[in-house]
Amino acid sequence: MESRKMTGSEALLNTLITEGVECIFGYPGGQAIPIYDKLYDYKDKLRHVLVRHEQGATHAAQGYARVSGKVGVALVTSGPGATNTITGIADAMLDSTPMVVIAGQVPSSLLGTDAFQEVDVIGITLPITKWAYQVRRAEDIAWAVSRAFYIASAGRPGPVVIDISKDAQVGLVDYVYKPVDFIRSYQPWPEISPEKVKEAAELINRAERPFALVGQGVILSGAEKELKSFLEKADIPAGSTMLGLSAMPSDYRLNKGMLGMHGNIGPNRKTNECDVLIAIGMRFDDRVTGDLKTYARQAKIIHLDIDASEMDKNVRADVKVLGNAKDTLRKITRLLNPAEHGKWITSFEQDEKEEQEKVIEKEIHPQGELLRMGEVVRKVSEATGNRAILVTDVGQNQMMGVRYFKYTETRSVVTSGGLGTMGFGLPAAIGAKIGAPERTVCLFVGDGGLQMTLQELGTIMQEKLEVKMILLNNHFLGMVRQWQELFFDERYSATEMENPDFVAIAGAFRIGAREVKEREKLDDAIREMLDYKGSYLLVVDVEKSGMVYPMVPAGGCITEMLF
């Protein structure tokens, strides 16, 4: 390939374009000005979304990546610009989201001198990235960026940080793009063991009560069809982790709901009743397992995962099948005998009936005057034909969102799982809408989380995006209040909130808004929100004392749920 003379900043932008990047979320600053200066000449090739805070750039990049399947990109300056991305980087690491964060840095001659806005970005981010690298020469930029995209997206996805000194940005280089598709020290696609595949199939063929746990790895590997073929052939019921929820349509006959602390009764109970447990692309998070001493002790456990470090980390597996879920599921399915487990599948019905009576009916069809979160979520979902993308913040709004929203398409859930980041929702919804502009994006957020990244309403305004935002306003930090009520003798310390006029704030950002307090006005307000041309904030005043049930107390047995 013929080389071209250009600056390091131009080499960066050309490499991004060649890697397929269409959108960058960022915020300029002194040590990134050379990059932004050249970006001015690439406006027709690279869309830049000006966020209002660098944390917003990372969460928007996450939302973009989660719905599009592409690598999200954030561009920031040095010092506080870089440190403001730390939360988003850690969030992406725990939730396996492919993201590349590019930070400007002081000139290499000033490194280590405590220069203005200098910080050790690599030292800070190494523990929370797949790779972090500092570039000090213009000729290393194209190589580093291509390598970053390969590492971020290959194998188990995750975040990568590239720190580029200012002199590298302005230096001249003979630019040649060389794609990176192999790194000797990094083997993202482990070789699948035929013996392990056979062992897994034999266990499943002998099972009388098999149960599958579906994680986000199914979605990340694009294995939704393979999952369905696997479940259908062996007639296996399945439960999902929170991030794996939309891998199966909500109404799919073998989909038995969500696992974990606020999951459905059936999947939690059956985990401790099945004889073979098949975990697919999930990491046995503590919110899913509860007390490990009582977790699935009766079952033979098969674990399918692409990351060897997850094997036996929390739960010891009898058969460990290392590899991409799309490939391992296909190979195992070939060896399965067609089966029927009608009696076992029917046994879920009693749990479903109990949950419907004790929890769901009271939440979506409440008898009292006060609106409840679950009924709002369900009504919005139904009004979109259950085809929208659900984005949530963290807290009660998150749990109610994932419990009562329904899914028909994959990549329909964007939420902060492992890190549980309040403030995630609003910027993530921005990225989700840009990543899937043809789909309706519904954000459910609490009054606490919204005020953490409220400034990103300015990004929505400037980009003229259409995001439907539903604020479930209970004037409390609801999830903390719930724990205080249940486990701390109702000592509501520092959880009650005095809130501003959110409708007025939305109006200041030229965003449509309405507040609803009465049930009889809710349907009309939802229709108004969805029909509105542009972004809309629907403020719904819900009961202050609302609780998310079922609930497994932290560290408790997964079958011992509070109602």
Active site residues: 54, 116-117, 166, 479
How many other CB atoms sit within 10 Å of the CB of residue 128?
A: 20
Q: Which residues pair with 103 in a beta bridge?
A: 76, 163
Q: Which residues pair with 413 in a beta bridge?
A: 390
Q: Encoding tokens for residue 465?
A: 């995006």
The CA distance from 224 to 212, in Å, is: 14
Q: Are 47 and 96 within 8 A, CB to CB?
A: no
The CA distance from 225 to 247, in Å, is: 9
Cα-to-chain-centroid distance, residue 387: 18
Residue 105 phi, psi (nearest 5): -145, 160
Largest CA distance in the chain: 72
Residue 499 phi, psi (nearest 5): -105, 155
The CA distance from 384 to 379, in Å, is: 9
CA distance between the termini of the chain: 65
Q: Which residues pair with 540 in a beta bridge?
A: 472, 516
In 3D space, the residue among 381, 387, 386, 391 whose CA is nearest the CA of residue 63 turns out to be 391
**236, 276, 377 from 444: Cα distances, Å:** 32, 36, 8
Q: Which helix (H) or strand (E) holds 76?
A: strand 72-76
Q: Encoding tokens for residue 65?
A: 């990546």
In 3D space, the residue among 177, 182, 186 whose CA is nearest the CA of residue 158 turns out to be 186
